[in-house]
Structure 1
Amino acid sequence: MTRPYSNDLRERVVSAVQAGESCRAVAARFDVAVSSVVKWQQRYRSTGSVAPRKMGGYRKRVLTEHLEFIHEQIKQTPHLTLHGMKDLLAERGVIVSHQAVWRFLRDEGLRFKKNTVRS
């Protein structure tokens, strides 16, 4: 993963824009993307700082809170599909993709097959 630009560069870019230069001119002068100039300016206006946000880290899984519900649904309906599970979760107000459901089931070691004879 790449490193963020230095705060010194960010501050000089924001100062140049505040001094009246256009975002495109500032981007060309400092050799950065126009989108970076715009985003740094927006961040400075909203937070008063140009410092980058935290990069990386652990992201909590959304479905962890619904583990008991998922276990119960698999026991009650062994022929349930991923899309069916996704729809049941949506009824509870949890909007996720079927890919997120699949990853969660795989990570938790929960396997279910439609045809139990082949398992």
Structure 2
Amino acid sequence: MALRERVVAFVEEGHSHRAAAARFRVSVKFVNDMVILKRETGELEPRRQGNGGGHGKLARLRDWIAVRMTAKPDLTLDDLVLEIAEAHQMT
């Protein structure tokens, strides 16, 4: 967070994005992204990553997988994939 704050503060002091990138040894894209983030949100907290979850191919099998892992905690990912393919006709 400190780097993000220093970069944005440097730009807000009137320096160019290129000058900020050179001074803090980051890319111009990073500087641009931080300035945009600050403008849009008012903060420099990283945005959430990923797609939010819960709607992928395995979403409907979440409970089945949890039960299976509880029943056999030493189940490997490869074995779980095989069981899913066999039990639910998924490839």
> So what's the TM-score if we normalise by structure 2?
0.58
Q: CA deviation at 1:57?
A: 8.4
User: Aligned pair count?
Assistant: 68
1:9 and 2:3 are equivalent in the alignment: yes
Match of 1:109 in 2: 88
Match of 2:42 in 1: 48
- Gapped runs of 5+ residues in structure 2? 60-84
- Gapped runs of 5+ residues in structure 1? 1-6, 66-105, 112-119
Structure-2 change in CA distance of 1:28 and 1:53 (3 Å): same
Q: Which amino acid aligns with 1:110?
A: Q
Structure-2 change in CA distance of 1:49 and 1:59 (3 Å): same
Q: Determine which of 16, 20, 25 is the counterpart of 2:19.
A: 25
Matches within 5 A, 1:67-86: none
Which structure has more helix as a fraction of its residues? 2
Match of 1:36 in 2: 30
Structure-2 change in CA distance of 1:51 and 1:29 (3 Å): same
> So what's the TM-score if we normalise by structure 1?
0.45
Distance 2:49 2:56 in 1: 20
Identity %: 38
Q: CA deviation at 1:53?
A: 2.1
Q: Indicate the structure (1 or 2) with the bigger Cα radius of gyration.
A: 1
Moved over 4 A (4+): 55-58, 62-65
Q: CA deviation at 1:52?
A: 1.0
